[in-house]
Amino acid sequence: MKYDQYKDSGVEWIGEVPSHWEVCRLKNYCSLKARIGWKGLRSDEFEEDSYAYLVTGQDFGNSKIDWTKCYQINKTRYQEDPYIQLENENILITKDGTIGKIAIVDNLDKPACLNSGVFVLKQKNIFNSNYLYWALCSTLLKDFNTYTSSGTTILHLYQNVFEEMPLIVPPFSEQQAIANYLDAKCGEINRAIDVQKKKIDLLNELKQTVITNAVTKGLNPNVPMKDSGVEWIGEVPEHWKVMKTSLAFSNIGSGTTPSTSTPKYYDENGAYWLQTGDLTDSIVIDTSKKVTTTAIKECNLKFYPQNSVVIAMYG
């Protein structure tokens, strides 16, 4: 939709906005809270069934929280901090790990609060909750992080910085219209994505079958077979060998993770540091993080030669 008049938003990376829209700082119309350090929870306090849900960054999915997967905590822990007690239409944002994941609270059937690593955003009536969700899902948050990061890798979303993020505020009726449009349009796109994902899953199953048959049965279906001696492998070609992995490789080992809270350990011009997220079932030609010579020395990092086979251990 084209508006008659536009104005400078006053924010370099936003540019112009419709002249009757406002631009404000997040802290002006929203409260942003998280679990503070001295109320940190220990993992041995997590329960399968208790008084309140405990939301972590692992519980985010498709814009919602999956309450069936949440750990729970007792009433005493829940009541410690009213600022992080959740209500429907609150917006949650991850601030550690994979920062900037966003979900909207709905369908609460019992009390809920936050573990560390997640912000709760409670908006005033000036905002439609769905519009605010979509605003944060746009490039606004990413652009703001880029603008304020000064070229450093963003490992944590700080409250005092995030509160200064500019928000675009159309009139409430327009917010509702924009949210309704995006609910419908993005719903269509998500359904199309789901169809393609199912096709991809089927193709991946076919791919796995082709690979497994080739490496355990060979390419000649008429070759004489023998029992491999391994129940889950079954028969293999008669002239093939079966051996333990330890006999097939000259060196098997793992690595060490330098503390992500130590800036001197990471630099975009450093040495390749391979982590699980860099593995894509293919050849690795780059890594998302690089480590400094300081990290290599102080953390006793190991180097492995090219053509090594890498397997994810966790996640």
Alpha helices in the chain (DSSP H): 26-29, 75-79, 129-137, 139-148, 159-162, 172-217, 245-248, 293-298
For the record, the structure tokens of 117 come out as 């690593």
**Residue 190: CB partners within 8 Å, gap ≥ 6?**
62
156 - beta bridge partners? 96
Q: Are residues 83 and 111 in contact, defined by beta-carbon separation less than 8 angstroms?
A: no
pLDDT at residue number 1: 67
Cβ count near 112 (within 10 Å): 24
CA pair distance 145, 150, nearest whole angstrom: 9
The beta strands (E) that lie in 27-100 are given as 30-33, 52-55, 60-61, 64-65, 71-73, 91-94
In the chain the domains, ranked by start, together with CATH numbers, are: 6-170 (3.90.220.20), 188-240 (no CATH), 243-315 (no CATH)
pLDDT at residue number 195: 97
Beta pairing, strands 235-237 & 225-227: antiparallel
310 backbone dihedrals φ, ψ, rounded to 5°? -115, 130
- The CB-based long-range contact list for 211-220 (8 Å cut-off, 24+ gap) reads none
Identify residue 246 by its one-letter amino acid code: S
User: Would you give the distance in Å from CA 67 to the centre of its chain?
Assistant: 18
Residue 93 DSSP SS3: strand
Q: Which helix (H) or strand (E) element contains residue 18? A: strand 16-18
| Averaged pLDDT, groups of 10, the chain, 315 residues long | 88 91 93 80 88 92 89 92 94 86 93 92 91 93 80 73 92 96 95 96 96 94 93 93 90 87 90 89 89 93 90 82
Q: Are residues 179 and 39 in contact, defined by beta-carbon separation less than 8 angstroms?
A: no
pLDDT at residue number 176: 96
CA pair distance 67, 200, nearest whole angstrom: 28
